[in-house]
Each structure stands twice: as structure tokens, then as C-alpha cells.
């Protein structure tokens, strides 16, 4: 039975985060992105979120490029090739190179719609088993170490189970040492967003004294060779983020020994189907995974909650509660973190309702495509 799409709607939203987020590549506070809504002939509605940024500094995609790819290629492909299961979307779109975040935004809406048509939760549709997930928090670079210590304390009080700190040259091992002095036993990791090269190896080796859970993407954004060399020289597990765009990348990185942990971001790998395959492959190879974040609003956050319910997501992810980012989120109820835990919703699809008033409040453009 085909999925009977009636129309696809792109809602372009603009939302301001309650804090500026600084990484080794820049500072963000205003978020512009698309919510994709897939509607079937019975009036069921599935939602996905595009996670690219307006500026291509995390991957090459942008909000604008997502719109062009979705409008010019992905929607016409879906119109011309009726599908009966969301797993068919990835192979259909794989005729186009790259543009994983654009593909994932559409595929996410199709997965949510499918789960609603079946009357099951998205988590269940994906093969998720956990009813609750452990979550950590990602803290951007702060003006001073005092500010950072204050932030960490606040999030630990809220129950977050691990702290991820952004690092960059000049703001790394000394800063981490200060933090370790104050929080000797807290699960802490560092994320460099590709700010270093093998020339920094002596500094990176010093990280081994700090008992970090892992160091995320220390070297170049598309590298697996130098990461393999580095992993041989340091004890701290390397986690790859930017370098992993596909199951193929994950297989090669594991084969080379480039990492001991993988951060799965649904948008970066082209959707939920590929995320499940990477999860399964990592599980077979004893590589734990966790779910990364892209400062998502509620719809993307809900997708992250669903994928994290799979069994090999054994490390706390970056899926913090809605109130970490937004005065008001676009879903009801909002994503709530209590004692470092999010309960995986059991209702149909993503299990959260899209808040129509909020959608309208933040919407700056609406585009409709008949299927
Ligand atoms: O809270 C979140 O959604 C995670 C934030 C976070 O760490 C990241 C968001 C966006 C781009 C990156 O800097 C990044 C990451 O690298 O994991
Ligand atoms: Mg990262």
C-alpha cells in the first residue's frame, strides 16, 4: 500500500535561542530552519526538521540550499516514485550526491507520517527498545572560566548526566584542568569541531591526564586517516562527528581505528534509516554511539529522542530539554529533562503535537507543494 501523499508543506521559521552558542567555528543565536510537513489523503500529518544552519560552517549545506534541493529535486522524486515504506526514501534520494540534511528533513516527515498511519510511536517504528533515555548537555565556549564553572554547576543541578565542553586552540587543556579541579568525578568530554591538526599532538596527549569520556572530532572535518594516527597515540577515546556522513564512512573509520565512539546526527547522515544502519553496524562492532544535537527545535528534538531509544545509544547524547534553548518551543508538551532522563513518548509518530500557534508565530514563509 502506498503512503498516499497529498501535499508537502515547508514552513520556514526564525527562532531566537535564549543564549548565544559559541564553538571553534563561530557564534549562533538566531536559528532559521524549515519544518517539513507531509500530509496524506486521510489528513494525517508527519513532521521533519531541517538542521542545517544559515552559514555552511558545520557542513556545506545551508537553509537556502536545503530549500532548493527539496523543491527542485526531492519533492519531484517523491511525486514520481510512490513509496510504501520510509526505508524506500533513502535509496530513492541516493541518486543525488550529498545534501544529507535536506534529504533527512523530508525523510523525517515521511517516517513520522508512516508511524502515525500505523498508529505506533516513531521510536517503535525504528526498532527502539528503551522507554527512557539518558541525556547530557553541550556547553559553548564561555567568556571566562568562572562563567563556565557556573554554567556547569547549574546544568549538573538540573540533573544532566554528562557535560560536553567546546574547545579551541588557546581554550583547551588549561581550561579543562581548571574544570577538573572543581568537578573531579563528573563525566566530562570535549568537542573541538575540527580545530586541531597532528601538529597539536603534544597538547592532545596531555588530555589523557584529565579522565575525559572522549574527545570529539579533534582533527579535520573530513578526515579519518589522521584520527587513526592520533587514536594510536592517546588513551582518551576519539569520537567522530563531522567525518561520518554515511554507513560507509562509519565502516571505514572503524576498520582504520579512527575512533572508539560515534556521534550519530540524523541530519548529517541523511536520515533515520541510515542512522539505524550505522547504529546496527556499530553495535555489531562494539562501538557505542550517542545522538548529537544541532540546536534543534521541538520536531528535530523529538526525532532525536526516538532514535536514541535504540539499544546501542548507550552514552548520554546532546538532546537537552526544550527549555535549554527556547522561551517557547514549537511542540506540546515540550521535551522535559528530569534527573537527566527524557521519557520516550509512546503515542503515535513523534509523540508530541506541533503547537500551531507557535508555528504561526515563528513562521516567516510557507510553501505548499501538491503531490
Ligand atoms: O545542544 C545541541 O544541540 C548540541 C550542540 C552542539 O554541540 C553542536 C551544535 C551544532 C554544531 C556543532 O557545534 C555541535 C556539535 O559539534 O556537536
Ligand atoms: Mg560535535
Domains of the chain by range and CATH?
5-119+353-370 (3.30.390.10), 125-343 (3.20.20.120)
The pTM score is 0.97
Query: What is the ipTM, given to two decimal places?
Result: 0.97
Burial class (CB in 10 A: 0-12, 13-18, 19+), 343: middle
pLDDT at residue 24, rounded to an integer:
86
Give the C-alpha separation, 58 to 16, whole Å.
19
Cβ(302)–Cβ(296) below 8 Å: no
191 is in an annotated binding site: yes
For the chain, 371 residues long, the average pLDDT of each consecutive 10-residue run is 96 97 92 98 98 94 98 98 97 97 98 98 98 97 95 97 96 96 98 97 97 98 98 98 98 98 98 98 98 98 98 98 97 97 98 98 98 96
Distance 41 CA to ligand 2 centre (A): 39
Nearest to 110 by CA among 57, 45, 54, 23: 45
* Whether the CB of 58 sits within 6 Å of ligand 1: yes
Residue 349 CA to its chain's centroid (Å): 18
> Among residues 166, 181, 260, 366, which one is catalytic?
166
Check 265, 283, 332, 366 and give the catalytic one. Answer: 265
Closest CA to 244 of 229, 226, 224: 224
Rg (CA), the chain: 20
The per-residue pLDDT for 367 is 98
Identify the three-state secondary structure at position 115.
helix
pLDDT of residue 1: 86
pLDDT at residue 35, as a whole number: 98
Name the phi and psi angles at 206, rounded to 5: -65, -20
188 lines ligand 1 (CB under 6 A): no
49 is in an annotated binding site: no
Asked if residue 24 has its Cβ within 6 Å of ligand 1, the reply is: no
What one-character-per-residue DSSP string does 241-291 give?
STT--SHHHHHHHHHHT--SEEEE-TTTTTSHHHHHHHHHHHHHTT--EEE
CA 158 to ligand 2 centroid distance, Å: 22
Cβ density class 278-307: b for 16+ within 10 Å, e for less: bbebbbeeebbbbbbbbbbbbbbbbbbbbb
Amino acid at each position: 500500500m502506498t503512503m498516499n501523499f497529498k501535499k508537502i508543506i515547508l514552513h520556514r521559521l526564525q527562532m531566537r535561542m535564549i543564549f548565544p552558542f559559541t564553538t571553534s567555528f563561530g557564534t549562533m543565536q538566531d536559528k532559521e530552519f524549515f519544518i517539513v510537513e507531509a500530509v496524506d489523503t486521510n489528513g494525517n500529518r508527519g513532521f521533519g526538521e531541517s538542521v542545517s544552519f544559515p552559514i555552511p560552517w558545520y557542513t556545506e549545506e545551508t537553509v537556502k540550499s536545503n530549500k532548493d534541493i527539496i523543491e527542485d529535486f526531492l519533492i519531484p522524486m517523491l511525486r514520481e516514485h510512490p513509496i510504501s515504506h520510509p526505508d524506500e526514501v533513502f535509496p530513492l534520494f541516493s541518486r543525488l550526491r550529498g545534501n544529507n540534511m535536506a534529504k533527512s528533513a523530508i525523510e523525517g516527515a515521511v517516517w513520522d507520517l508512516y508511524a502515525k498511519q500505523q498508529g505506533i510511536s516513531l521510536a517503535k517504528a525504528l526498532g527502539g527498545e528503551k522507554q527512557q533515555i539518558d541525556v547530557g548537555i553541550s556547553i559553548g565556549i564561555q567568556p571566562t572560566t568562572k562563567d563556565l564553572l557556573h554554567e556547569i554547576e547549574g546544568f549538573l543541578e538540573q540533573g544532566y548526566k554528562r557535560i560536553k565542553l567546546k574547545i579551541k586552540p588557546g581554550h583547551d587543556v588549561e581550561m579543562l584542568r581548571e574544570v577538573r579541579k572543581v568537578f573531579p568525578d563528573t563525566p566530562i568530554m570535549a568537542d573541538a569541531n575540527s580545530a586541531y591538526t597532528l601538529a597539536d599532538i603534544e597538547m592532545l596527549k596531555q588530555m589523557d591526564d584529565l579522565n575525559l569520556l572522549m574527545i570529539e572530532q579533534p582533527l579535520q572535518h573530513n578526515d579519518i586517516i589522521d584520527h587513526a594516527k592520533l587514536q594510536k597515540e592517546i588513551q582518551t577515546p576519539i569520537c567522530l562527528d563531522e567525518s561520518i556522513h554515511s554507513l560507509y564512512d562509519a565502516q571505514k573509520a572503524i576498520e582504520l581505528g579512527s575512533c572508539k565512539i560515534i556521534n550519530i546526527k540524523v541530519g548529517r547522515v541523511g536520515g533515520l534509516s541510515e542512522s539505524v544502519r550505522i547504529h546496527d553496524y556499530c553495535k555489531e562492532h562494539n562501538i557505542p554511539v550517542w545522538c548529537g544535537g544541532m540546536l534543534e527545535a521541538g520536531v528535530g528534538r523529538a526525532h532525536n529522542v526516538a532514535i536514541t531509544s535504540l539499544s546501542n545509544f548507550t552514552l548520554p547524547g546532546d538532546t537537552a530539554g526544550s527549555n535549554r534553548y527556547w522561551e517557547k518551543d514549537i511542540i506540546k508538551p515540550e521535551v522535559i529533562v528530569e534527573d537527566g532522563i527524557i521519557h520516550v513518548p509512546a503515542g503515535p509518530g513523534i509523540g508530541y503535537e506541533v503547537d500551531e500557534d507557535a508555528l504561526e508565530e515563528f513562521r516567516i514563509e510557507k510553501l505548499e507543494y501538491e503531490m
